[in-house]
Structure 1
Amino acid sequence: MSSKRSRERNEDAETEPKLKKAFSDPRQNVHESKRAAEQSQYADSGVNLTYAVGCTEEENYDTVTLKDIIGDENLQELYQFNFTVDLHYLMENLDENVKTRAKIMVIHGMKESIPIIEATALMYPNVEIYSPKMMDRWGVHHSKCMILFCQKNSIRYARIAVVTANICYADWNKMCQATYRTPVLPLKSENTEAGELIGSEHGSPFECDFISYFRAYNMKVTNDLCEKLRLYDFTKCKAVIIASVPGYHQGRDVEKWGLKRLQHILTKKVDIVPECQKQSIILTQSSSVGKFTEKWYTEQFAVCMRGCRNPLSCSIPQVKFIYPTIEEVCESVTGLESAGFLRMDSATYEKLHSWFPSYLCKWEGKVGGRQKIMPHYKSYTRLRANPQTKVDATGKEVEARASIAWHLVTSANLSRAAWGDLQKNGTQLHIRHYELGILLYPDLWEEQETHILAANHQNPMPKPPDFVPFKEGNIIVPIRIPYGIPPRNYTSSDHCWTTAFVE
């Protein structure tokens, strides 16, 4: 990483002089940043929003469909991990030439639907159905992931998608969702690169973490999957796996999963970029909210979210939660039917009401092109918002609405069951659910100094705000953010959406 930004690995005496030098003449730095931005390179994050039928063509710019992900005409095997699976809908989105011959493995977590999906599978001889065993009746398999093994002529390749959507029509057409797709993964060769972040002689960290997660299922179907995954080259994957596995985790396993996994990666790998060190906020967002206490939210959840490798250079950021108001829900495409996926239980909210509203921010998806599409999307992001986004002569935004220090897309809702609950003086982490997500941060792009910027449908290739120390040759990684930036707190007249409105 010698060519990367000179950020501190350790908190030492060099920190202050480096920052003073970087910001010594703001006017000169702004001029240089603007000139450098004109010559910038843009890189693909792998993250996209999904297509939504209630949006305009412009709002659906650069979105993906389920068919885009699994409709490869060269598909030979598909491993489909999810919570809820409509098998007919899954098969409809496969290429016509492979839907009867490709081998389809479905690993799902909707216990109530097991008889239905197994009966439906009888119509498709090439489909196998599996359901992981759970530790207790409150745990679910909630991870959402697709692994494709393909072959074109004699060339074999694989591709992986980590998503937030269940496999059903409504999830892929009427809700705000996100996907992360790896690059095409070729078979390994003797020339597979090694590197501090993206590769090693024993396989890339992405590969090792991905396989470790599926090994934890302790099922023959996932063990077989792991052996196949080992054949492919993951070194081009610029993402880190953040997963949850049910259990009472102790010792080294505490930092392998859930909240402690995220904190471990943030603390060991992620330097908060200079522009976010003194002014940033952590925006958390999910579609369902579990039962938790103020103590868990402030002393476990928020503490882990604030992790970083350079804490002495950073102010302590607020940790906010974005959730739609009743007005936003009622004016959405799904209206009161949103209760089917916006699971803020009224009884749960009553217990949170004395303290949680001060952490709430509105959805406000207009700028993100998702004002009338309610989120089943789950994301956790540290960013610095741009309070005065510049526009061109036509009124179109040209600057990013935020600089992003890190961004996590995941299946995990805001709950102890998904993220884990520390017990026994922090020596044990109790998790109930299977969850899967991917974390992005600038240093994953080892080749050049990199800035991750918030994009939207009207500004898909944003330029950096003036406060970003941008230089010629830097890489920009745009990530489309669907909610409002800067975030707006609930006011006294706003009411959080809960299931009470449909009970």
Structure 2
Amino acid sequence: MSATQQQKTTRPRPDDADSEHDRDDDTHPLKRLKTANQQNGPRVEHVDTGIRLLASNAASQEENVGCVRLRDLLYHDDLERIVQFNFTVDLEYLMQNIHPAVRTKIPVTVIHGHRYDESRAAIQQEAKRWPNVRLIAPYIQDRYGTHHTKAMLLYFNRNGSKSIRMVVCTANLCQDDWEVMTQGVYQTPHCPLKETGEESTLNGNEGTIVGSEFGSPFERDLINYLNAYGISLKDIRSDVRQYDWSSCKGILIGSVPGYHKGPTMHLWGLQRLVNVLKAHVHLDTECTKDGSTLVAQCSSVGSLRGKWFQRDFTRCMSEAENSDMAKKPEIRFMYPTVEEVSQSVDAGRQKVMPHIKTYTRVYGYNSIAWHLLTSANLSRAAWGEFQKNDSQLYIKSYELGVFICPSLFENSTTNVQMLAATVQVPRPIPNTLVVDDDDNDNNNTNNNITTAVVPVRLPYDLPVVAYGKNDLCYTRQYSHDAYNQLFGTGYSSP
């Protein structure tokens, strides 16, 4: 870890974009949040990525503007079916957040990570209260592996008009995760059923991807991920393929357990991220010449080997279409100090502790080359470890995230910039577009080009702040020692 410089976290603040209470306003990922047109100047549009922070009961009303709660996602009387993927599940909390009109009627499938006898018996006992709930515990061979994915498939039916929405998040299905901690969530648009002609894809005919039976890259990647669960999700895979996912701009980055070789190695973990970075990220001149920073934030750190961190993780995270022309990014690891934990919501209710996992390449003042929201912590189990001269990738856990970058929002008449947003400046404007009135004349050659700004509300402030000389990193060992000091050496911390 000597290559990283640990960073202090800052108080998370929510996105100030519109909330998701009104689902009818969010039918396309390129929803324009605001258009700032000047009569003779450049045109700017702000684009919604679908990424939000979760609202926290410990945060101020201002900080919770635009944030999402579990009830915003589930409390709808037109829900027709729910599929939940998670690690830790409080089934009672889940069901109470579903609209009472459908709570006991619609099928609810829960794919969970309760591997051990006691916790598995507990959720099975809970499920007896809900006949409409089906539990699935995926088989994981490695004892250090987990079902760590946190996602939802939500099926809607409003007066015969059917749609589906996918949610990828960082929160376990329990109250503290959704109502107290800093978490992130990505929501796709509401995706309608495929047109009649497209339904032929279900019979093996080609979709919109040449040589493929899938209707869109997002559908292909989602089905690939669901395939990893085998026969238990056969009905869900069939249902998913009935919908048109072509409006989804995010790219799924998943991990599934196993020894992956040949073509399958490129589907998962670090190798999947490498392929996406090389295909979609072109670093601009400021980033390549002046340098950039890769900020990694997670809630847990596995047992890292220096070789893996340097050779595998850092190398893969540094990739881009033109990475050979760019300086390697500095790696900054965002992790709380002992003082921040002691003053957190769980301890003193003064700060909102992060459970979110993000990996972001930033440069300049507030520019973002790419952003990944994921369930994956910084570990070999989550991301995979290259073996056998890089011909094999071994992954222990299920993980899922969503990746965004400027090129995913481009078209022939739009220049795209992805910028960090704040509560104070929820819709930032690129510095290059700030012009004086004297310079804003009819001879501006860029008037016909729209700049699409993609705001991303990061769960920390830029620039990141390094640990001070007296700061201590909050580690499991520190927690263990603190409990022993308080309760004696025989005490086992929870």
Same-fold status (TM-score > 0.5): yes
Deviates more, 1:435-444 or 1:477-486: 477-486
1:493–1:256 distance in 2 versus 1, CA, 3 Å: same
Partner Cα separation in structure 2 for residue 236 and residue 266 of structure 1: 21
Aligned to 2:359: 380
% same residue: 42
Task: State the secondary structure of the residue aligned to 1:219.
Answer: helix
Task: State the secondary structure of the residue aligned to 2:340.
Answer: helix
2:267 alignment partner AA: K
1:301 and 2:267 matched: no
1:186 and 2:192 matched: yes
Partner Cα separation in structure 1 for residue 163 and residue 212 of structure 2: 20
Unaligned runs of 5+ residues in structure 1 are 1-32, 338-370, 387-401
Aligned match of 2:417 in 437, 448, 451? 451
1:468–1:420 distance in 2 versus 1, CA, 3 Å: farther
Partner Cα separation in structure 2 for residue 235 and residue 85 of structure 1: 31
Q: Do the aligned residues in 2 keep the contact of 1:456 with 1:482 (CA within 8 Å)? A: no
Q: Do the aligned residues in 2 keep the contact of 1:37 with 1:464 (CA within 8 Å)? A: no
Kindly state the Cα deviation for residue 468 of structure 1 after the two structures are TM-superposed.
Answer: 10
Aligned to 1:129: 135
1:215 and 2:244 matched: no
1:258 and 2:269 matched: yes
Equivalences for residues 117-196 of structure 1 within 5 A:
117-189=123-195
1:461–1:120 distance in 2 versus 1, CA, 3 Å: same
Kindly state the Cα deviation for residue 467 of structure 1 after the two structures are TM-superposed.
Answer: 9.2
Kindly state the Cα deviation for residue 479 of structure 1 after the two structures are TM-superposed.
Answer: 1.1
Partner Cα separation in structure 2 for residue 443 and residue 297 of structure 1: 28
Kindly state the Cα deviation for residue 132 of structure 1 after the two structures are TM-superposed.
Answer: 0.2
Partner Cα separation in structure 2 for residue 404 and residue 37 of structure 1: 24
Aligned to 1:290: 302
Partner Cα separation in structure 1 for residue 213 and residue 417 of structure 2: 28
1:493 and 2:452 matched: no
Q: Do the aligned residues in 1 keep the contact of 2:256 with 2:398 (CA within 8 Å)? A: yes
Kindly state the Cα deviation for residue 191 of structure 1 after the two structures are TM-superposed.
Answer: 7.7
Per-residue deviation, residues 448-476 of structure 1 (Å, max 9, x unmatched): 22111111222211112349999741111
Q: Do the aligned residues in 2 keep the contact of 1:286 with 1:379 (CA within 8 Å)? A: yes
Aligned to 2:114: 110
Unaligned runs of 5+ residues in structure 2 are 1-36, 199-205, 436-445, 481-494
Partner Cα separation in structure 2 for residue 149 and residue 467 of structure 1: 42
Per-residue deviation, residues 420-453 of structure 1 (Å, max 9, x unmatched): 0111111111100000000001111133221111
Q: Do the aligned residues in 1 keep the contact of 2:286 with 2:364 (CA within 8 Å)? A: no
Partner Cα separation in structure 2 for residue 280 and residue 374 of structure 1: 26
2:176 alignment partner AA: A
Per-residue deviation, residues 45-81 of structure 1 (Å, max 9, x unmatched): 0000000011101111110000111222101110000
1:443 alignment partner AA: S
Partner Cα separation in structure 2 for residue 165 and residue 37 of structure 1: 43
TM-score, normalised relative to structure 1 = 0.79
Q: Do the aligned residues in 1 keep the contact of 2:254 with 2:398 (CA within 8 Å)? A: yes
1:47 alignment partner AA: I
Kindly state the Cα deviation for residue 175 of structure 1 after the two structures are TM-superposed.
Answer: 0.6
Aligned to 2:380: 416
- For the aligned residues, what is the CA RMSD? 2.5
Kindly state the Cα deviation for residue 134 of structure 1 after the two structures are TM-superposed.
Answer: 0.4
How many residue pairs align between the two structures? 421
1:205–1:167 distance in 2 versus 1, CA, 3 Å: same
Q: Do the aligned residues in 1 keep the contact of 2:74 with 2:97 (CA within 8 Å)? A: yes
Kindly state the Cα deviation for residue 238 of structure 1 after the two structures are TM-superposed.
Answer: 0.5
Partner Cα separation in structure 2 for residue 37 and residue 301 of structure 1: 43
